[in-house]
Amino acid sequence: MNKETVLISGGAGYIGSHTAVALVEAGFDVVIIDNLSNSERGAIDGVERILGQKVAFELVDTCDKDALRGVFERHQFNTVIHFAAYKAVGESMDEPLKYYQNNLVSFMNIVEMMHDFNRPNILFSSSATVYGEADTLPVTEQTPRQPATSPYGNTKQIAEDILHDCCRAYAGLYGIALRYFNPIGAHPSALIGELPRGVPNNLLPFVTQTAAGIRECLSVFGDDYDTPDGTCLRDYIDVVDLAKAHVAAVRRMTAGKMAEKYEIFNVGTGRPVSVLELISRFEAVNDIKLPYKIVARRPGDVPAVWADTSLANEVLGWKAERSLDDTLRSAWAWEKHIRHMS
Ligand code: UFG
């Protein structure tokens, strides 16, 4: 039997590379496209080393419609996972057009090509950012979205809406949006992981770079929130677990099991963890003392958000499995690998 092929845009990126591994391990073929604007060719090497086989990779910018058309002409696949996007919240405030251009044009090009070439299934990388400061916690997929607080977040909301409209309008198109909570950690091999450029915006890369001595001190943004220890609560999802959620969603699509033409799933652990708790677990499992100081709140941060994952658990048959401790070990192993530390 021929294997199903999945096109992965942004497959050299953090979540894309882990998903490529998970898909091949689950018996799919993959074609990866990426413009390497925020990722490295080395990620593809890492994927190939883990799998012990080559994967198809093409240097393609999904904003370049002609180049993208070529990919659709050259390769047969029924399913696309669209990861390719910019993701820095702060940068999106300073350069909104860059975000709207890149994130929306690339997304619409993908959908247009799928429509033109009759390719049915698209899986879209959405984000918990669409919930904003939710009235009730944990958030379910029915929890109303709040107005986006950044152009980045707005691109996720708009792309969700575009996908919903297109699935309604085009008989042959099926869509799933996965709303990721906070992805962290790395593959247990330490051959792929997150590769932030410059000063990291996100907590975990800042933690591991501080542990490696690259950053002097971690700033904890606020300890006066209305939470148990005063620091923000988030739902940190292991990136390998997250990758497996994509496999489950792809299976649902390729098996023709979708109940609606457009479906949404939260992908998290369902467990809120505070910034201080994360720091202390990181210190404990890796036997490292992390220098940190409490500073002012970061504008735009919501006090708490975590997922109700019942829908993904029941409908996708997927559940986060890796413990927070193992995830934090893997994050440190990856940082040591890229810094050539023992
Ligand atoms: N934090 C610190 N110090 C840091 C970095 C982060 O204390 O140096 C805190 C933040 O204040 C927050 C928590 O760590 O409480 C997590 O922050 P991240 O930046 O890692 O993650 P966010 O929850 O802010 O961001 C994530 C995704 C975005 C998404 C956003 C909104 O990374 O893509 O959620 O839901 F837009």
* Bond from prior residue into 183 cis (ω within 30 degrees of 0): no
pLDDT of residue 200: 95
Per-residue pLDDT of the chain (342 residues; tens, 9 = 90+): 679 999 999 999 999 999 999 999 999 999 999 999 999 999 999 999 999 999 999 999 999 999 999 999 999 999 999 999 999 999 999 999 999 999 999 999 999 999 999 999 999 999 999 999 999 999 999 999 999 999 999 999 999 999 999 999 999 999 999 999 999 999 999 999 999 999 999 999 999 999 999 999 999 999 999 999 999 999 999 999 999 999 999 999 999 999 999 999 999 999 999 999 999 999 999 999 999 999 999 998 999 999 999 999 999 999 999 999 999 999 999 999 999 886
Atom of ligand 1 nearest to the CA of 298: 11
- Report residue 336 as tokens: 């040591």
pLDDT of residue 2: 79
Distance 159 CA to ligand 1 centre (A): 22
Which of 204, 298, 306 for a ligand 1 pocket mutation test, highest count of atoms within 8 Å of Cβ?
298
pLDDT of residue 342: 64
Atom of ligand 1 nearest to the CA of 150: 36
Which of 247, 236, 261, 238 minimizes the C-alpha distance to 318? Answer: 247
- DSSP assignment of 119-164 equals --EEEEEEEGGGG-S-SSSSBPTTSPPPPPSSHHHHHHHHHHHHHH
DSSP state of 304: B
Which of 64, 301, 283 minimizes the C-alpha distance to 201? Answer: 301
- Residue 85's identity, in one-letter code, is A
- Report residue 235 as tokens: 């739902």
The model carries a pTM of 0.98
- DSSP assignment of 55-117 equals -EEEE--TT-HHHHHHHHHH---SEEEE------HHHHHH-HHHHIIIIIHHHHHHHHHHHHT
The torsion of the CA quartet 65, 83, 172, 245, rounded to 10 degrees, works out to: 170
The torsion of the CA quartet 173, 310, 15, 126, rounded to 10 degrees, works out to: 50
Residue 206 host element (H or E): helix 203-211
Q: Which residues line ligand 1 (CB under 6 A)?
A: 87, 89, 127-129, 152-153, 182, 201-203, 206, 218-221, 232, 234, 275, 298, 301
Half-sphere exposure (Cβ direction) of 208: Cα atoms closer than 13 Å? 26
Residues labelled catalytic: 152
Which of 234, 236, 237 for a ligand 1 pocket mutation test, highest count of atoms within 8 Å of Cβ?
234
- Report residue 70 as tokens: 């070529």
Give the C-alpha distances (Å, rounded to integers) separating 142 from 27, 138, 264, 289.
33, 11, 9, 41
Residue 310 host element (H or E): helix 310-311
pLDDT of residue 53: 98
Which of 145, 202, 216 for a ligand 1 pocket mutation test, highest count of atoms within 8 Å of Cβ?
202
Atom of ligand 1 nearest to the CA of 87: 33
Backbone torsions φ then ψ of 15, nearest 5 degrees: -75, -35
